[in-house]
Structure 1
Amino acid sequence: MLRPAAPIVALFVVVALARSGEIPLAERRSSYEHMSAETKAMQDGDTDNPGMLWVLDGEARWRVKAGKAAVACAGCHADAESSMKGVAARYPAFDPERRTAVDLAGRINICRVERQQAPELARESKDLLALAALIARQSRGLPIRSDDERLKPFIEAGRTIFETRRGQLDLACAHCHNDNWGKKLAGITLPQGHPTGYPLYRLEWQMLGSLQRRL
């Protein structure tokens, strides 16, 4: 699993405070620890990480004027390296106007519609993933914030989903990612549920993808 720009965004249930049944903070581990030496080397080097192709594409898209307003992202935000530093680490964030939580991709589309007067970019589209990867890269190494009280209902809703059994196997997300992490399943080491590096490049996909795709 390659993360061209991490951390990016956390699943609500993961960023909540530790409680019974959750992995204690001192025991939380990145999936990076389960990678082979070859995969780690591919992720660590920007020149070797295929996810960087989307970041480079995002840099180009950042400067392209779009929509009826004929405005580029750079037209409002200037250089992404400085203006977007720490931005992705704040998402998902509560949007007061919409009275709901919005993820990074959602915020990009809000800007497209309201500022550029352009149609939304489709989820998992090349352009949306590229812009998200570019913005997320500027938060690499920064802690993810989850201290907005308005997010609590969404965190609890995510927790319920994470802990609820479903499907033919009658399993919850927590059964693998909280209770049995580090163990093998079909030859694959089960990771903890820390989706903090999305969008990211997965070897099985051979492309960049969002957290929603992984879920």
Structure 2
Amino acid sequence: MEFLREHGDSALVSLGSGSLINGIDNHFRLFVALGLTHYIAVDIESVINARLETLFNDDATMLPLLAAHCDGEPQRFLEAVRGFPSTAAEQLFGLHCRVVVCQRVLPYLHWEPVIESMSPDLVLQEDLHGCEIQNLADGDFHRCRAGVRHFGLRPFRPWRIFPGEYNLVLWRNKHFSISREVDAKCRENRWIQFRRGFKGVKDDLLGHWGRWVH
């Protein structure tokens, strides 16, 4: 992992990328917003491939953004992609990068120590099946819903997982500033966040009750 040791300050690392890099719409939004130059895909699969036709879910939105970022030469982004197949997440312990994306995690695995040791500015959890078990709240990270709106992140499967959250969670390192306004919202009192979550559950229950009654 010498490559990451050398280029971590300009890299996004996708943990559990799978054998085919796909659905990276939100990854690319963060990649562009933070001015990164390296996209690193890590998985225990024996091969990791990247093809332009499978990168995004929303081609109509993302391909023009890709073309603009690459000065009309989208293939240049593939040159920025570096795959590390047959690599366990634990092998990245202590290797810094700017963004960690946590996509596919088996429910019994806990990567919090690995992610925290990489000291990223942002951590994006999405496609939640085991990723939501990775709870970073006890360390240097704050859950940052305002950052989701700021970076224009969009759930590619718009099904509610947690009250008020759809298939993705963004964490901000408390030592990293997005903007004064966004940072302040990310530091909101946890009691306020709990009340909002409770209201979301209550609204859902009332909605289901109303449909059942009618």
When normalised by structure 1's length, the TM-score is 0.23
Q: Which structure is richer in relative contact order (CA contacts within 8 A, separation 6 or more)?
A: 1
TM value normalised by structure 2? 0.23
